[in-house]
């Protein structure tokens, strides 16, 4: 049986007149079981079959899709989608009487055969891919856990951004989606927008030969999530202002705008499915200042599964005139505040560089180097070194490299929202 617990890390002491309360809430799940443990599960593998996939990319994509099929547990509904300027159901075959089938040995073999028939032709319109996936999932309404893997190698050139955004909005809350880009011609921001809205991850596969291992990892992780559709619920007292709710580990995701009302004082924020794992959330609340010596509950943070609260933690505020108490910044709050700024600095710096604003790019990427050093994010530092020459990491003094490989910039961009854990 799944077990959850929630722990708060914060400095609850506020100085006279202070109003803002920050806390990191760690939610840990164990004993969650396999996908479908608390209801049916469904998987869709979406393969870019546009003309640019011809050759090595499509060969690798077929191999990766077949490997992913091998990881899907028996009994799981599944389908394969071929994407170009339109979306086609590659399996079950178009003439099949059902839109998704349950995995079993015969279906697994037939799906692999269908994958082998995939051909590269046409353009790229990822909104149509998401729309078909949503329609396929809708044919199995009993399914409580829905997940897709989407692979692309190019820009979304054959539909408008408005059309893509509309498809993303329609799919949001309906299924989760991990997005992978192979090669250097796809746009990180497009892929990140899809993955972020659909509670998934975005990743760069620089070498097509690495696709199969990545797909295997993604599908195995999905099959290891036995609890579907959790919600983070945050209660704040009357008159308080919830400044933000962010997932800060294992990756950054601002959930603030995804609030749905539970009641007038409580909002629910989607978390997607859970496996045996730990996630961390940064909650910031603004309350009315109270006299020195007063105490107040600033927030109650809960994880809810199927409308049942499975974990709960309290965020507190205490006013004091003891500066030794109020001056301390909780290490977890400080760490993840820095990680959030690091992601913004990297993305802003790369965007400035792309539009030719080298001065802004240098400042932003310099700040990123400084933050990566302070927070111990060695992966970010290593990727930054491929984009800038670092003169002084502690001060963030850098020089932009010339002739940077686009793949190195993309690797830095896609990894910008991946955080390092705080040492507690």
Whether 44 and 177 map to the same domain: the answer is: yes
> Please, which pLDDT band fits residue 38 given cuts at 50, 70 and 90?
low
Task: Output the CA angle 341-346-350, nearest 5 degrees.
Answer: 145
Looking at residue 37, what is its pLDDT? 74
Whether 66 and 207 map to the same domain: the answer is: yes
Whether 356 and 396 map to the same domain: the answer is: yes
- Which residues, other chains included, contact 165 with Cβ-Cβ below 8 Å and sequence gap of 6+? 127, 193
Beta-carbon count within 10 A of 107 CB: 18
Residue 351 lies in a domain: yes
Bridge partners (DSSP) listed for residue 79: 44
Measuring CA to CA, how many Å separate 101 from each of 25, 88, 240? 39, 16, 49
Query: What average pLDDT score do residues 384-407 get?
Result: 97
pLDDT tens for each residue of 106-115: 999 999 999 9
- Which residues, other chains included, contact 95 with Cβ-Cβ below 8 Å and sequence gap of 6+? none
In percent, how much of the chain has pLDDT > 70? Answer: 99
Residue 424 lies in a domain: no
User: How far is the C-alpha of 366 from the C-alpha of 371, rounded, in Å?
Assistant: 9
Whether 200 and 56 map to the same domain: the answer is: yes
User: How far is the C-alpha of 255 from the C-alpha of 272, rounded, in Å?
Assistant: 12
Looking at residue 366, what is its pLDDT? 98
What phi-psi label fits residue 97: left (phi over 0), alpha (psi between -120 and 50 degrees) or beta? alpha
> Please, which pLDDT band fits residue 36 given cuts at 50, 70 and 90?
confident
pLDDT tens for each residue of 112-170: 999 999 999 999 999 999 999 999 999 999 999 999 999 999 999 999 999 999 999 99
- Which residues, other chains included, contact 327 with Cβ-Cβ below 8 Å and sequence gap of 6+? none
**Tokens 């998704």 found at:** 100
Kindly give the interhelix angle for 331-354 and 358-375, rounded to the nearest 10 degrees.
Answer: 160
Residue 258 lies in a domain: yes
Residue 367 lies in a domain: yes
Q: Which two tokens stand for residue 402?
A: 């010339």
The 3-class SS string of the chain reads CCEEEEEEECCCEECCCCCEEEEEEEEEEECCCCCCCCCEEEEEEEEECCHHHCCHHHHHHHHHHHHHHHHCCCCCEEEEEEECCCEEEEECCCCCCCCCEECCHHHHHHHHHHHHCCCCCCCCCHHHHHHHHHHHHHCCCCEEEEEEEEEECCCCCCCCHHHHHHHHHHHCCCCEEEEEEECCCCCHHHHHHHHHHCCCCEEEECCHHHHHHHHHHHHHHHHCCCEEEEEEEEECCCCCEEEEEEEEECECEECHHHCEEEECCEEEEEEEEECCEEEEEEEEEECCCCCCCCEEEEEEEEEEECCEEEEEEEEEEEECCCHHHHCCCCHHHHHHHHHHHHHHHHHHHHHHHHCCCHHHHHHHHHHHHHHHHHHCCHHHHHHHCCCEEEEECCCCEEEECCCCCHHHHHHHHHHCCECCCCCC
What mean pLDDT value characterizes the chain?
97
CATH of the domain at 27: 2.60.40.3670
Looking at residue 112, what is its pLDDT? 99
Whether 7 and 79 map to the same domain: the answer is: no
Residue 369 lies in a domain: yes
Whether 251 and 342 map to the same domain: the answer is: no
Whether 170 and 81 map to the same domain: the answer is: yes
Whether 278 and 350 map to the same domain: the answer is: no
Which of 159, 192, 223 finishes a domain? 223
Residue 423 lies in a domain: no
Whether 219 and 151 map to the same domain: the answer is: yes
Whether 115 and 256 map to the same domain: the answer is: no
**Tokens 């505040």 found at:** 337
CATH of the domain at 55: 3.40.50.410
pLDDT tens for each residue of 172-229: 999 999 999 999 999 999 999 999 999 999 999 999 999 999 999 999 999 999 999 9
Beta-carbon count within 10 A of 329 CB: 13
Residue 259 lies in a domain: yes
Whether 161 and 68 map to the same domain: the answer is: yes
pLDDT tens for each residue of 304-353: 999 999 999 999 999 999 999 999 999 999 999 999 999 999 999 999 99
**Domain enclosing residue 110, as ranges:** 40-223
> Please, which pLDDT band fits residue 424 given cuts at 50, 70 and 90?
low
Q: Which two tokens stand for residue 122?
A: 């046409």
Which of 328, 357, 385 finishes a domain? 328
Residue 420 lies in a domain: no
**Tokens 């997940």 found at:** 147
Which of 286, 303, 328 finishes a domain? 328
- Record the pTM: 0.96
Whether 256 and 147 map to the same domain: the answer is: no
CATH of the domain at 380: 1.20.120.1690
| Number of domains present in the structure of the chain | 3
């Amino acid at each position: 049986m799944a077990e959850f617990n929630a722990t708060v890390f914060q400095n609850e002491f506020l100085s006279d007149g202070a109003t803002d309360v920050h806390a990191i809430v760690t939610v840990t799940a164990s004993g969650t079981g396999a996908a479908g443990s608390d209801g049916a599960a469904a998987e869709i593998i979406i393969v870019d079959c546009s003309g640019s996939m011809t050759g090595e990319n499509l060969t690798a994509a077929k191999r990766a899709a077949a490997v992913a099929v091998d990881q899907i547990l028996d009994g799981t509904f599944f389908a394969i989608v071929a994407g170009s300027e339109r979306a086609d159901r590659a399996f079950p075959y178009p003439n099949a009487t059902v839109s998704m089938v349950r995995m079993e040995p015969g279906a697994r073999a037939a799906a692999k055969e269908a994958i082998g028939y995939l051909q590269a032709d046409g353009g790229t319109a990822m909104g149509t891919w998401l729309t078909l996936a949503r329609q396929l999932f809708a044919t199995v309404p009993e399914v409580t856990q829905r997940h897709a893997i989407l692979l692309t190698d190019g820009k979304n050139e054959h539909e408008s951004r408005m059309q893509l955004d509309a498809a993303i909005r329609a799919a949001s809350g309906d299924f989760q989606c991990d997005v992978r880009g192979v090669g250097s011609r796809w746009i990180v921001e497009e892929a990140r927008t899809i993955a972020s809205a659909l509670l998934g991850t975005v990743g760069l596969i620089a070498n097509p030969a690495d696709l199969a291992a990545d797909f295997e990892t993604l599908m195995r992780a999905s099959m290891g999530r036995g609890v579907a559709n959790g919600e983070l619920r945050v209660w704040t007292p009357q008159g308080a202002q919830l400044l933000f709710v962010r997932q800060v580990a294992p990756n950054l995701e601002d959930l603030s705008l995804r609030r749905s009302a539970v009641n007038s004082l409580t909002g629910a924020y989607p978390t997607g499915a859970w496996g045996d794992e730990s996630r961390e959330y940064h909650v910031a609340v603004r309350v009315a200042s109270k006299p020195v010596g007063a105490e107040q509950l600033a927030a109650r943070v809960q994880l809810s599964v199927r409308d049942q609260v499975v974990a709960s933690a309290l965020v507190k505020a205490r006013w004091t005139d003891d500066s030794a108490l109020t001056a301390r910044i909780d290490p977890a709050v400080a760490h993840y505040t820095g990680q959030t700024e690091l992601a913004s600095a990297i993305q802003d710096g790369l965007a400035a560089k792309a539009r030719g604003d080298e001065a802004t790019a240098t400042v932003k990427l310099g700040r990123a180097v400084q933050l990566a050093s302070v927070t111990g994010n060695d992966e970010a530092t290593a990727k930054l070194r491929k984009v800038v020459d670092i003169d002084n990491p502690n001060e963030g003094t850098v020089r932009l490299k010339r002739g940077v490989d686009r793949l190195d910039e993309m690797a830095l961009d896609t990894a910008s929202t991946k955080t390092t854990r705080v040492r507690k």
